[in-house]
Structure 1
Amino acid sequence: MTSLPQLSLFSPAKINLFLHITGKRADGYHDLQTVFRLLNWGDTLHFQVSDRQFNPHQDFADNVLPITLDTKVAVTTNLRDNLITKAALALIHAIKSNTQLLEAVDRLPVIDIKLDKVLPAGAGLGGGSSNAATTLLALNKLWGLNLKQQTLIDIGRSVGADVPIFILGQDAIAEGIGEILTPLSLPPQHYLLLNPNAHASTQALFAHPDLRRDIPAISVADIEENSEGYLARLYPPFSNVFEPVVTNLVPEVNQALSYLKKLESLTHSSARMTGTGSSVFLPVPEAMTPRIQTYMINNPPPCHALITESLLGQKGSI
């Protein structure tokens, strides 16, 4: 008996090397500028084609879904609220919107998905968005849709603003609400990453009166040419506008960041927060990682910590 196709894919974390808000849009969203860096640390998703089929023309009401999801970590109470499910349904919607594709697809197999969850939620690491992007890449292949990367990026944008970077699968400058991407070639880098078990509501942070929303936009060319301003050291005009707000609201984040700042003179780099928190990181020269590990043994960090590195190669094609 021939075994049914299966696929296992890595679902990486991201960090923001800086994060600016350049203004508020008429639709209520904020215009951002950031550099996304993908990490060689993340979740793994296993996709198994089942012998059950569904009609993509149908409406997916109640508990009828094109996927199943098995995870040891309760990421959401309702499966439909999970970004993995939302990604699958967004892909089905895209099929329905493409007359030529819809006519070519009669039945599709239900995909059984197992999520090996490593990335913490609410950490500014993009774990849910990465899972959604990985799901789009896998289902596109297993369902034989052959949609181009840009089409998947457009679908991913409807699921979440951070989904497109994980479909692109490489470091990039991001603008707009995070969906306008310019690939960026950066040198390999190691990071000491701390993950406090606490965070502030993203919605509340965007509404906070102390949040700066008027950082002057920097041209893509200037971001590309001035990477020394945000790679190791963080020099003006680069910053994370959420960091001072979060460190005032969440003592655990402030404590973790203070721990990293004690190492700055050793690493000649700048500790900073990723995204809207709660994770913080410090760029570390590779040759110095043994000294950092010894330091952590003698001076235990206040929360979960690990040394990881930037992700090499592209994830966006499988």
Structure 2
Amino acid sequence: MSYTPLVDAEGFAAFPAPAKLNLFLHIVGRRADGYHLLESIFQLVDAHDTVWLRVRDDGQIVHHNPMPNVPAETDLTVRAAKLLQTATGVSYGVDIRVDKRLPMGGGMGGGSSDAATVLLALNRLWHVNWQRQALMDLGLQLGADVPFFIFGRNALVEGIGEIMTPIETEATDFVVLHPPVHVPTPAIFGDPELTRNTPSLKVSLLEGTADWRVLRNDLESVAVRKYPQIAQHIQWLSQYAPARMTGSGSCVFAAFVAKDVEKNTSQNQANAVIFGLPKEMSGFVTSSLQEHQLLGFASD
């Protein structure tokens, strides 16, 4: 896939930062250092933030619209640019703007994806031309999900999130609901009732003999107990299709597989669900991606 960015009148170029959904998420063990070992399918979807970048010659990194009450220097996009600048020794800088559309704290990887997009785009704009694995190693310093977005393919993810195997997924439309709660990830992983010994299904998933639709998110039972609004959203969405939480929450989703792409029936189904959404709930429809739009900005 080749991506050519739109450039606005001020010289900013637009780059997408797509979201992800955890189609399932199992905790299969725990390391001696306390980190949890997981198994999950990470699915890229076309819901996205837009990161606008404009190269500077003076080496300065400037964020033009940081989030309220978030110092620009702590923003993941600024940290990503500074990390790449330091690691490569380039003399360029960058102006940054972010159009934030993805739910914050929703388990869809928005902040991590923004950081990955900065690394991928600047790899091209700054003429760094690092290989993908080098960018992934750098991105890991910013967060556990950042390497996945640089990897740029739907994947079976293992370990603490660092082991990725490409996996084929069906064309699917998703209804995503965003309960109005912020779920602190450490509180979910630290709960004593969290299941930590789900048997591995790696072999059957890669062979295509296991169906993610009948699996679960091990974090969900803890999250719904702590945050009843998540349970309410799952219950409402389950009227139409099996629903579950993504990541550590709070977003929940249901899948509508595109069995008849020509007639677009799956998207029509998903849109009908959103049309009937109660006024006190918010949500949207998003479609699966087969690969990140900026996959070609780093070589394998």
After TM superposition, the score normalised by the length of structure 2 is 0.87
> Corresponding residue for 1:68?
62
Please state how far the C-alpha of 1:85 moved relative to its aligned partner.
1.9
Deviation per CA, 1:254-288, whole angstroms, max 9, x where unpaired?
A: 11101111112xxxxx2111000000000014414
Structure-1 separation of matches of 2:278 and 2:104: 23
Structure-2 separation of matches of 1:307 and 1:217: 31
More deviation, 297-306/121-130: 297-306
Are 2:247 and 1:275 aligned? Answer: yes
Structure-1 separation of matches of 2:10 and 2:119: 19
> Corresponding residue for 1:90?
83
- Which residue, out of 186, 189, 199, partners 2:182? 199
> Corresponding residue for 2:156?
173
Question: Per the alignment, do residues 288 and 302 of structure 1 end up closer, same or farther by CA in structure 2, a change over 3 Å counting?
Answer: farther
> Corresponding residue for 2:271?
293
Structure-1 separation of matches of 2:175 and 2:200: 29
Structure-1 separation of matches of 2:194 and 2:175: 26
- The letter for the 1-side match of 2:110 is G
- The letter for the 2-side match of 1:250 is Y
- The letter for the 2-side match of 1:317 is G
> Corresponding residue for 1:63?
none
Question: Per the alignment, do residues 292 and 190 of structure 1 end up closer, same or farther by CA in structure 2, a change over 3 Å counting?
Answer: closer
Please state how far the C-alpha of 1:37 moved relative to its aligned partner.
0.1
Question: Per the alignment, do residues 4 and 284 of structure 1 end up closer, same or farther by CA in structure 2, a change over 3 Å counting?
Answer: closer
Please state how far the C-alpha of 1:17 moved relative to its aligned partner.
0.5
> Corresponding residue for 1:316?
295
- The letter for the 2-side match of 1:92 is Q
Contact 2:175 2:274 in 1 (8 A): no
* Amino-acid identity (%): 37
Contact 1:256 1:302 in 2 (8 A): no
Contact 2:256 2:269 in 1 (8 A): no
Question: Per the alignment, do residues 276 and 255 of structure 1 end up closer, same or farther by CA in structure 2, a change over 3 Å counting?
Answer: same
Superposed, 1:2-41 pairs within 5 Å as 6-41=12-47
- The letter for the 1-side match of 2:26 is H
Give the ranges of 4+ consecutive aligned residues of structure 1 lying more than 6 Å apart after TM superposition.
Answer: none
- The letter for the 1-side match of 2:134 is T
Helix, strand or coil at the partner of 1:158: coil
Contact 1:10 1:43 in 2 (8 A): yes
More deviation, 279-288/120-129: 279-288
Deviation per CA, 1:8-48, whole angstroms, max 9, x where unpaired?
A: 21000100001111112122211111100000111001110
Structure-2 separation of matches of 1:93 and 1:312: 32
Structure-1 separation of matches of 2:92 and 2:27: 42
Are 2:165 and 1:182 aligned? Answer: yes
Deviation per CA, 1:164-222, whole angstroms, max 9, x where unpaired?
A: 11111121111111111111121210011101111321111111111111112223x32
Helix, strand or coil at the partner of 2:79: helix
- Which residue, out of 182, 204, 207, partners 1:222? 204
Please state how far the C-alpha of 1:228 moved relative to its aligned partner.
5.5
More deviation, 208-217/299-308: 299-308
Structure-2 separation of matches of 1:82 and 1:299: 33
Contact 1:73 1:117 in 2 (8 A): no
Please state how far the C-alpha of 1:93 moved relative to its aligned partner.
3.7
Helix, strand or coil at the partner of 2:176: strand
Contact 2:173 2:288 in 1 (8 A): yes
Superposed, 1:140-159 pairs within 5 Å as 140-159=123-142
- The letter for the 1-side match of 2:31 is R
> Corresponding residue for 2:225?
248
Deviation per CA, 1:109-130, whole angstroms, max 9, x where unpaired?
A: 2200110100111100000000
Gapped runs of 5+ residues in structure 1? 55-65, 96-101, 265-269
Structure-2 separation of matches of 1:172 and 1:245: 25
- The alignment of Structure 1 onto Structure 2 pairs a total of residues equal to 282
Please state how far the C-alpha of 1:291 moved relative to its aligned partner.
4.5
Helix, strand or coil at the partner of 2:236: helix
Please state how far the C-alpha of 1:301 moved relative to its aligned partner.
6.0
Structure-1 separation of matches of 2:11 and 2:28: 46
